[in-house]
A and B are shown apart, each in its own frame.
Chain A
Amino acid sequence: MAIKIFFPSACSAAENGLLIGRWMAQHKSAVVLATLHFPFIPGNVRSYLSQMERKTGLSLSVIGTWSHSKKDKDEKMDNFLGELGSIFSHQPWLRMARESSSKFWDCKVERMEGEESEDVVLVYYDQRKLMLSELHSASEYSEIAAVFDTVAKHQPLFAKDKYDEGPVNLTHWQSDGVEASIIVELCKQASVPLCAVISFFVSLITSICNLRVLSGKPLSFLWSKMSTCEQLGRRLENLRLISSSEKAQDHTTFMRKANTFLSLFLDVTLGILLMSWLYQGNHIGQLADALIPVADRIALELQELLQWLMGAPAGLKMNRALDEVLGRFFMYHIHLWISYIRLMSPFIEVILWYIGLSACLGLTVALSILSDIIALLTFHIYCFYVYGARLYCFKMHGLSSLWRLFRGKKWNVLRQRVDSCSYDLDQLFLGTLLFTILLFLLPTTALYYLVFTLLRLLVIMVQGVIQMTINLLSSLPFFALLQRLCRSYRLAAGVKFRMLEQQQGKPLRLLMQINPLPYGQVLDTYRLPSSRCYPKDSWGSLCKKLFIGEVIYPWKQKEEKQD
């Protein structure tokens, strides 16, 4: 196995000196982190390195010498560098030399334990990118992960530039001046009091929400049904996460915080844009004027649908008397609904005006309010659906048990099976009479049920689309996507090597480049948890529920999940 030397490309133009880095014996590779220049005192260098070791927790030592001859070979210098090896006792000892006349570098490995001299592979790497990037999907003990880790952990080593006074003089990627931004520093300073204020308000609101009056039985039931309340709760949770004063422990927590912050920021920006559009040019009034006719129109369409059902819809054989009764019942309901809307109409604009203010809390809040408004405006459809489903369910259950009676069987509850049973004559007569009546009335009920179920599914679908938009907005990792787009090296999936030159007897030179993480994986890794869960029903069980007439609720799944 060849010895690999990871060499920072920033140091290739450095003056003569010593190589500082880390030797990884299990991978047979050396990571060069910086070059040390004359003049230095060996004792000072050792104490500086041990101080660094204490800070980072990783071993750091002088692992060899570096000579960069500008014009021609300097015998004196070579000898001097050779003697330095006896001062610093490191095994193995690297001797690297670069000549300006040749593209190939000399690299010798001395004092290697028990083995012959081996091939050497030189790998150039970009120290800045390696330090900032986060390697994904690598096992803990892989060589590349160890290299990334070593470079990332020696950040304090790079904090000094050549203008700083100190016992040692180093060359690395930041040696010409430390990178920093005034804006970032100012933001960091300003965020501390801001976070304190926000967290105070968050705790205040949380304590109000936890009051016994608000979490009592009837109100808590109401809260759990409205998606707005859920969205507000989520918003509070996000704020608490962002404004916490603790420093992010690891990369995952940091990314989560950053993603949450950015998505919140984007959300609120979009919400404020929406609000400014709404309040400019009296859009609220237009909306209110449009809403009432729409609700009226829906009611009218429903009325026409009912009238069609009360006739002979699609030539189906319906029971005329039952058809009329059901139709009149639903008509009366629509009549009630219309009068309710008429009663509401003067106040709609005011209500909308106040609701519009909530858009400043974010687009998702506005969307969930829209979803709730849709649920309220289609309440009659929901009622129809429930009546139809209950009636149909009753019929189906009656028919199934009377069909058992018809065959002379019964359902044994204790054994969970169908047993044969001998019935009395009057039981038989009554059962069969009811069975016949229910059987002939079934098509009528089933048709009403079918039509109202389709309407209900339509409403659920609209609400589902809104919910999906909300989920998308609140779970997309915007920060990670932005990083992937602009600084693709920050999220690394692995590395690739490009061969520079190769010649017999000289070390192979490779350039290490970072493979960015694919977008799909970015989404998978950094997706924010969305509180609202989708209905977990499979299509089959949904169809079965629809067939036997069980009432389906979009929010039912959540309660079952908690059990």
Chain B
Amino acid sequence: MSPVLQSSNPGAYTDVTWGQDTTSSPDPVENHTPWKKVLYERQPFPDNYVDKSFLEELRKNIYVRRYSYWAVVFESAVVIHQLCSVCSFSVIWWYMDQDLLSPQKLCGFGLAFTLLGYLIFDAVDKGAGRKESGRTRWRDLKSSLVFVAFTYGFSPVLKTLTESISTDTIYAMSVLMLIGHLVFFDYGANAAVVSNTLSINMAIFASVCLASRLPRSLHAFTMVTFAIQIFALWPSLQRKLRAYTPRTYTCVTFIFAVFSVSGLLSISSVGALLFFLLLISVTFLCPYFLIRLQLFKDNIHGPWDEAEIKEDLSRFLD
């Protein structure tokens, strides 16, 4: 299924005739002096003269990349993971809010999974990453103690924090923050908008907002801890799994997706269907379109300066 590209030979010179200019300008052949692209010599040509040799350096689509479909599908698993994380977080919150899930149970499961993940995290690369970063186990323990102590200490404050603020406002704020988390997350793209810090902070903010709606302070504590696990710790484990054991990673993605869809199904079937369609489209449809649309790519590169519109915003600043 490899796509056919229009110009597969980057750097090929394309000869394009430049009709009008040769007739309007004085014929350089009469003068018998070849035109040179320099400014420091006086030449018998008008300032706006363009020579035939000008377009010899035109190139098309030099930066185009060929994608293979299944590689793109594999890469899209990162997006799937993040979508499923947000989905399962919301589902768990809903269960907690309805008192269908006790905080002790969630706490226990969370602790067990975190310990398991911690072991896997070291086992996957046999301790190579730990040696490289120089991070000791004692430091890990300290960090986790700080998490637990502060979250537990602040959980009564969190519970009364948004009492007077309307629930709809809280929901709107959380949804906005979670969408922000998905937008700014580092999916491996090299773009200016990506900011891992901002993405994690937005997720924590959303979780604190949602946790303040829960009935008791233990609920709030559990919810914030769960948010840390699913938004901060889980992606780093994922990254490692993807790098070392891609096959397991695909498996884990599939299981995770099935779990979150089924969790959503227990709340609302329509929502589950929509979410399933979203996952399918992200996994299969979007890569197809990406590769299909490469055919219409038409970039030209040459020895000219591209016109750039730079709006001078400094006059608005002061």
Q: Name A residues whose Cβ lies closer than 8 Å to a Cβ of B.
A: 312, 317-321, 405-408, 422-426, 428-433, 435-437, 440-441
Contact B204 A319 (CB under 8 A): no
Query: Could you say which residues of chain A place their CB within 8 Å of the CB of B150?
Result: 429-430, 433
Question: Chain A residues with Cβ under 8 A from B163's Cβ?
Answer: 319-320
Q: Most chain-A Cβ atoms within 10 A of its Cβ — which of B146, B164, B205?
A: B164
Contacts of A429 in B (CB 8 A): 147, 150, 204, 228, 232
Interface residues of B in 135-175 (CB under 8 A from A): 143, 146-147, 150-151, 154, 157-158, 160-165
Question: B10-51, CB under 8 A of A: which get 1 and which 0?
Answer: 000000000000000000000000000000000000000000
Known: A407-B195, A407-B197. A436 touches B161 (CB 8 A): yes
Report whether B195 and A408 are in contact in the complex, using a CB–CB cutoff of 8 Å: yes
Minimum Cβ distance to chain A for residue B211 (Å):
10
Of the listed residues A317, A318, A436, the one surrounded by the most CB atoms of chain B closer than 10 A to its CB is A436
Pairwise interchain contact B151-A433, C-beta atoms closer than 8 A: yes
When the two chains form the complex, which single residue of B157, B164, B228 contacts A318, counting CB atoms closer than 8 Å?
B164
Q: How far is the CA of A436 from the CA of B198 in the complex (A)?
A: 14
- Is B201 in contact with chain A by the CB < 8 A criterion? yes
Is B208 an interface residue when CB atoms closer than 8 A count as contact?
yes
**Cβ of B164: which chain A residues have Cβ within 8 Å of it?**
312, 317-320
B279 within 8 A of A: no
Q: Give chain B interface residues in 265-294, CB to chain A under 8 Å.
A: none
Q: Are B143 and A425 in contact (CB under 8 A)?
A: yes
The 3 closest A-B pairs by CB, nearest first: A408-B197, A317-B164, A432-B204
A321 to chain B, nearest CB (A): 5
Is B209 part of the binding interface, using a Cβ–Cβ cutoff of 8 Å? yes
In the complex, what distance in Å separates the CA atom of A474 from the CA atom of B154?
Answer: 60
B179-221, CB under 8 A of A: which get 1 and which 0?
0000000000000000111101100110011000000000000
CA distance A433 to B220 in the complex (A): 12
B165 contacts A428, C-beta separation under 8 Å: no
A320 to B164, CA, bound (A): 8
Q: Are B154 and A437 in contact (CB under 8 A)?
A: yes
Contacts of A405 in B (CB 8 A): 201
Q: In the complex the two chains form, is A433's CB within 8 Å of B154's CB?
A: yes
Q: Across the interface, do A440 and B143 meet the contact criterion of CB distance under 8 Å? A: no
Q: Which of the residues A426, A430, A437 comes within 8 Å of B161, measured between beta carbons?
A: A437
Most-contacted residue by chain B among A312, A426, A437 (CB, 10 A): A426
By the criterion CB–CB under 8 Å, are A408 and B146 in contact?
no
Partner of A436, one of B143, B146, B209: B209
A317-B164, A320-B164, A440-B161 are contacts. A432–B151 as well, Cβ < 8 Å? no
Q: Which residues of B contact A312 (CB under 8 A)?
A: 164
- Complex Cα distance, B165 from A118, in Å, reads 97
In the bound assembly, the distance between CA atoms of A431 and B202 in angstroms comes to 12
Q: Which residues of A contact B151 (CB under 8 A)?
A: 433
- B143 / chain A contacts, CB cutoff of 8 Å: 424-426
Are A426 and B205 interface neighbours, CB within 8 A? no
Measured CB to CB, the closest approach of chain A to B148, in angstroms, equals 11
- Report B-chain residues with C-beta under 8 Å of the C-beta of A319: 160-161, 163-164
| One of B147, B162, B224, B228 near A440 (C-beta < 8 A) | B162
Q: What chain B residues lie within 8 Å of A428 (beta carbons)?
A: 197, 200-201, 204
Known contacts A423-B197, A432-B200, A433-B154, then 14 further A-B pairs from the complex at CB < 8 Å, ordered by chain A residue: A319-B163, A320-B163, A406-B198, A406-B201, A406-B205, A407-B195, A407-B198, A422-B197, A425-B232, A426-B143, A426-B147, A428-B204, A430-B150, A432-B205
Residues of A within 8 A of B165 (CB): 317, 440
User: How far, in angstroms, from A430 to B232 measured CA to CA in the complex?
Assistant: 13
A311 to B: closest C-beta gap in Å: 12
Residues of chain A within 8 A (CB-CB) of B160 are 319-321
Cα distance, A425 to B201, chains bound together (Å): 10
Tell me the minimal C-beta distance from A312 to chain B in angstroms.
8
Q: Assess whether A432 is in contact with B208, with CB atoms less than 8 Å apart.
A: yes
Cβ distance B164 to chain A, nearest Cβ, rounded Å: 4
Q: In the complex, how many angstroms separate the beta carbon of A426 from the nearest chain B beta carbon? A: 5
Q: Can you list 20 contacts pairing A with B, beta carbon distance less than 8 Å?
A: A318-B164, A320-B160, A320-B164, A406-B198, A407-B198, A423-B197, A425-B200, A426-B143, A426-B147, A428-B204, A429-B150, A431-B201, A432-B204, A432-B205, A433-B151, A436-B161, A437-B158, A437-B161, A440-B162, A441-B161
